[in-house]
């Protein structure tokens, strides 16, 4: 007899009080570095801000309340490809018309957290001032080694290897055809879903085109494409030290980050600020409670090391894979505060481009920073493909 299909089980984790008390004790015992006078954020994380955040985490932040809020999402765990995968599966409230299934893929340094604000806007648009006909069934998995998904015990998985289980998950949930969307590493996963499962993916939406990889003759590129490649290299020199560590020696950093909650906060908070559309004030984009919810998910799951290792796997993807053109209809929302924003010429070269927009606000974490804008981008882009998913 054939093997039985894996069965998703409801999943509601609850942190051990002893683990939370240990976390508070570690935070209170932080050994702080010195800092040059008036350095602020110019050398990396602002230690003064971090001390304030750590003090609040130790003696004010209410994790059980945040955990209870996350538990209101319909969350599940299922074995796929030898790993336990955690995901949100929120069904539309639409009573009629075609409902488009949509898989949303996150990146680093986050988890399903990235989409928690936007899920209700997508499943019940009528309750948020939008057209009820634009409702989605939403699936948000944690990447392997992120959040509550298992980490590979052997070599880390790259984005190509994740796309297959995501397609399997959507089939398991009863969705033969679906839309895909993502940013950061999730943009890569969504791209490979479209490349390797074009009969399943009706359209793909992304908030970036990744760090540019081009091995051909640069004279064949448009001037704006060459400028973008140069800008990408310059950005890597200014801002890419974290990625170089992730690609080359992730375990070196993981020891300290896994052991020190203040160190973990420093590593992640600096990126939340640098990559969001916050004009230098991180709390324009994220409240302290929101930041600490993301950080506490990392701490409780112990996934900082496994999340970083995925960079190493993705760095080994062969150039021929990067050169493949996505023929599935593709759309991009390029938010102004994001990093390394691609020119239209590159998007036309690498995808079957049908739509590109530049929303007024938002950055790398647009689904969390600007959930209403992000939801509207998805509604408008996927509207023509709803009936295709029913075929």
Q: Which residues are catalytic?
A: 184, 311, 364
∠ at Cα 319 (313, 320), nearest 5°? 115
Task: Report the b/e string of 142-151 with b at 16+ CB within 10 A.
Answer: bbbbbbbbbb
Residue pair 165/145 in contact by the 8 Å Cβ criterion = no
Residue 203: name the closest of 136, 132, 114 by CA: 136
Token readout for 23 is 């976390």
For 386, which DSSP code? T
Collapsing DSSP to helix, strand or coil, 89 comes out as strand
Residue pair 106/115 in contact by the 8 Å Cβ criterion = yes
Residue pair 125/118 in contact by the 8 Å Cβ criterion = no
Stated as kind and residue range, the H or E segment containing 166 is: helix 159-172
For residue 80, the cross-strand partners are 83
For 65, which DSSP code? H
User: Rounded distance, CA 156 to CA 2, Å?
Assistant: 29
Residue pair 352/327 in contact by the 8 Å Cβ criterion = yes
Residue for token pair 């560590």: 245
Token readout for 292 is 């600490």
User: Rounded distance, CA 304 to CA 102, Å?
Assistant: 27
CA distances from 322 to 129, 183, 206, 293, 311 (A): 40, 16, 16, 34, 15
Token readout for 104 is 């949303």
Token readout for 12 is 């509601």
* Distance in Å from the first CA to the final CA of the chain: 30
């Amino acid at each position: 007899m054939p093997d039985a299909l894996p069965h998703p089980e409801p999943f509601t984790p609850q942190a051990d009080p002893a683990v939370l008390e240990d976390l508070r004790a570690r935070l209170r015992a932080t050994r702080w570095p010195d800092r040059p006078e008036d350095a602020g954020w110019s050398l990396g994380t602002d230690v003064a801000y971090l001390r304030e955040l750590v003090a609040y985490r130790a003696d004010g932040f209410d994790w059980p309340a945040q955990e209870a809020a996350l538990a209101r999402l319909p969350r599940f765990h299922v074995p796929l490809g030898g790993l336990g995968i955690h995901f949100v599966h929120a069904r539309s409230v639409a009573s009629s018309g075609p409902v488009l299934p949509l898989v949303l893929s996150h990146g680093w340094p986050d988890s399903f957290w990235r989409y928690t604000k936007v899920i209700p806007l997508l499943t019940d648009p009528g309750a948020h001032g939008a057209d009820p006909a634009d409702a989605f069934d939403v699936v948000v998995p944690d990447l392997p080694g992120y959040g509550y998904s298992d980490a590979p015990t052997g070599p880390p998985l790259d984005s190509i290897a994740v796309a297959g289980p995501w397609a399997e998950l959507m089939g398991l949930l009863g969705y033969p055809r679906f839309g895909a969307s993502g940013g950061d590493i999730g943009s890569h996963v969504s791209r490979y879903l479209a490349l390797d499962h074009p009969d399943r993916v009706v359209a793909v939406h992304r908030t970036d085109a990744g760090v540019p990889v081009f091995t051909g003759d640069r004279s064949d590129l448009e001037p704006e494409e060459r400028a973008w490649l140069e800008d990408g290299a310059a950005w890597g020199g200014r801002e890419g030290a974290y990625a170089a560590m992730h690609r080359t020696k992730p375990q070196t950093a993981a020891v300290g980050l896994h052991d020190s909650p203040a160190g973990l906060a420093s590593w992640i908070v600096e990126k939340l600020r640098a990559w969001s559309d916050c004009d230098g004030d991180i709390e324009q984009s994220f409240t302290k409670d929101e930041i600490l919810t993301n950080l506490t998910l990392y701490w409780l799951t112990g996934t900082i090391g496994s999340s970083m290792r995925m960079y190493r796997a993705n760095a080994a993807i062969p150039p021929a894979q990067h050169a493949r053109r996505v023929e599935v209809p593709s759309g991009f929302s390029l938010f102004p505060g994001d990093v390394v924003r691609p020119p239209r010429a590159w998007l036309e070269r690498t995808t079957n481009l049908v739509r590109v927009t530049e929303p007024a606000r938002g950055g790398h974490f647009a689904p969390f920073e600007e959930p209403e804008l992000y939801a509207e981008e998805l509604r408008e882009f996927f509207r023509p493909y709803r009936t295709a998913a029913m075929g």
